[in-house]
Amino acid sequence: MKLLPESFVCAVFACASILVSAEFKIATFSADVTVPIGHGMMGGLWKSKSVADPLFAKGVVLIGGEKPVVFVSVDWCELRNASFDRWREELALVAGTSRERVLVSAIHQHEAPVTDLDAQQILNRRNLAGSICDLAFHEKAVRRVASSLRIAMDKKQRITHLGLGQAKVEKIASNRRYVLPDGKISFGRGSSSGRNVLAAKAPEGTIDPWLKTISFWDGDRPIAALSGYATHPMSYYRTGEVSADFPGIARNRRQKETPDCLQIYFSGASGNVTAGKYNSGKRQNRAVLANRLHAAMALAWKNTRRQALKQIEFRNAELFLKPRDHPGFTEADFEKKLTKGVDHWHQCLAAMGLSWRRRCESGQPVDVPAIDFGPAQLLLLPGESYVEYQLAAQKMRTDSFVLVAGYGEGGTGYVPTEKHWEEKDGNLGDWCWVHPGAEKPLLEAIEKVLVKTP
């Protein structure tokens, strides 16, 4: 028998490798992550009393690039520091990938938990009244999601096409910042206008009006759809009724309409965007907002155009941020509040601030990851990044379809622009743990992962 030349054999194997790597697959998963009664809500300000509707973690594993990439959206308010890492590490282990390739985004509903394992341990060690999250429940939830992902990995499906669609959302988002009749600037437009007539009458301000959807298909069969829109997802809260709020209602309706296609929703970079202009705060308005969001999701789906999927590339930028050092945010200030007799909410805030400060001082960066599909990119930003970062990301790639997810690493709290510090944004009083100066490095990180260099 005549032997083939070694170079020819190597070439054959190389071609086979290329063919295999060009075959893309997806695994879809979903798990219930509803908190128990009595659990801390929104960082421990109040506790859950009942369940209006369940909370879910819904995600996909994308296979065919260098390593698998995971994206999961969670019906929680925030995942911070060690909690964020615990989710990424466990899901990475199951998916057979590395931690930075697991993109975890909290939708940020307020009738839902904030989780920060280190902060809770600080409170526990000192026997304080503050209660951010239940450590045992957190681990149970992580393992439940990991189990769902593990089952999904045995049911991977082929994907051949990428779908891209968008639609304008009518009458939901408005910026917290608005101008008063006397020309002064107010940052007081919260999630509901309530009796604030001026906030309701003022223009929407700086928002991203587009809901965008990236979907994955096997031929003409849709398998999963990822939809993102930049607004705080609250109609009313502080009732103790656990709820996925109006995004959960809209997502569930879309799921019933596409039973074989997993519908995943996430909030864009919307630290300074709420439904305040269009939301009275009345209970019946939750359904109104859900209807408007659902209409945009359905229209984005109708507007979707498919094209062959040719790549799944991953890029990550390491972001180093300085912990806030203003009065009230130093380690000494936090320590003063971490004592018995201090209001439980201030204890929680101090514990979360100390947890973030220690993370920064350890030298661990914040990951700013992006998945590049060629004609589209999916970018994850940390914490409550302001909408200006989302708009800036889109301007960096005007040739492409850039879909931004917010509420990644939640330890930062708000991530404002320098202009917001200069204008004395009143929302930065307690839920912001980054020092001024974050804008430049964050924009550099976004550009690094979005703009592919030769």
73-124 pLDDT per residue, tens? 999 999 999 999 999 999 999 999 999 999 999 999 999 999 999 999 999 9
Parallel, antiparallel or unpaired: strands 114-115 and 78-79: parallel
Average pLDDT over residues 229-253: 97
Cβ atoms of residues 184 and 245 within 8 Å = no
Measured over the CA atoms of residue 230, residue 235, residue 241 and residue 245, the dihedral's sign is negative
**pLDDT reported for residue 19:** 36
Distance between CA atoms of 176 and 305, rounded to whole angstroms? 34
State percent of the chain over pLDDT 70. Answer: 95
State percent of the chain over pLDDT 90. Answer: 93
Parallel, antiparallel or unpaired: strands 210-218 and 221-229: antiparallel
**pLDDT reported for residue 194:** 73
**pLDDT reported for residue 22:** 60
**Mean pLDDT score of the chain, rounded to an integer?**
94
Cβ atoms of residues 24 and 64 within 8 Å = yes
Pick the residue with more confidence: 54 or 452? 54
Predicted model pTM: 0.94
Tens digits of per-residue pLDDT, 4-49? 444 433 433 333 333 334 699 999 999 999 999 999 999 999 999 9
Cβ atoms of residues 207 and 249 within 8 Å = no
**pLDDT reported for residue 193:** 81
Token reading at 273: 């965007």
Closest CA to 118 of 294, 326, 353: 353
Tens digits of per-residue pLDDT, 264-320? 999 999 999 999 999 999 999 999 999 999 999 999 999 999 999 999 999 999 999
Judged on CB neighbours under 10 Å (0-12, 13-18, 19+), 136 is exposed
**pLDDT reported for residue 454:** 62
**pLDDT reported for residue 125:** 97
**pLDDT reported for residue 38:** 97
Distance between CA atoms of 445 and 69, rounded to whole angstroms? 19
Distance between CA atoms of 305 and 323, rounded to whole angstroms? 43
Cβ atoms of residues 244 and 56 within 8 Å = yes
Tens digits of per-residue pLDDT, 168-206? 999 999 999 999 999 999 999 999 987 799 999 999 999
Look at residue 371 and tell me whether its pLDDT is greater than 50: yes
